Amino acid sequence: MLYCAATVSLCCLEYLVHTDPDLIPDNLIWSWAELPADPEVFDGTWDMGNVEWTRAIGKNWVDSRRSLAVRVPSVIVPHTPVDFNILLNPTHDVYSQIEWRDGGKFSFDPRLFLDGASV
């Protein structure tokens, strides 16, 4: 599945949480897409601490092919109505019809890193 977010700022946080700062390339870009339908909203209880459970839920959703996208809470910024991730299902019939738009070049502000390294 492809992990996306509703905002570029949440994408940044997700990226920083999952990437060693020394491995961040200097040629990042951001992009966006309009989906052909609103994402399904995950309405179950979200157990942020149970990785095995969330993986099983994700696998079941991908395998079901019932929707192209599902909106899930952000673990990093939980409990807000505007900070959420969008998961895309590459096995869904209309996945190949998503039209990605160029957003532009992107670089992180060096103040985000303790050593002030530029990335």
Q: How far is CA 115 from CA 20, 84, 118, in A?
A: 13, 29, 9
Which pTM was predicted?
0.85
| Residue span of the structural domain in which 67 resides | 2-19+26-33+41-103
Q: Does residue 113 form part of some domain?
A: no
Longest dimension (CA), the chain: 45
* Number of domains observed in the structure of the chain: 1
Residues in the chain: 119
Q: Does residue 119 form part of some domain?
A: no
Q: Does residue 116 form part of some domain?
A: no
Q: Does residue 117 form part of some domain?
A: no
Residues in Cβ contact with 22 at an 8 Å cutoff, skipping those fewer than 6 apart: 117
Q: Does residue 108 form part of some domain?
A: no
Q: Does residue 79 form part of some domain?
A: yes
Q: Does residue 78 form part of some domain?
A: yes
Q: Does residue 93 form part of some domain?
A: yes
- Per-residue pLDDT of the chain (119 residues), as tens digits, is 999 999 999 999 999 999 998 899 999 999 999 999 999 998 877 777 788 988 899 999 999 999 999 999 888 888 888 889 999 999 999 999 999 999 999 999 988 887 655 55
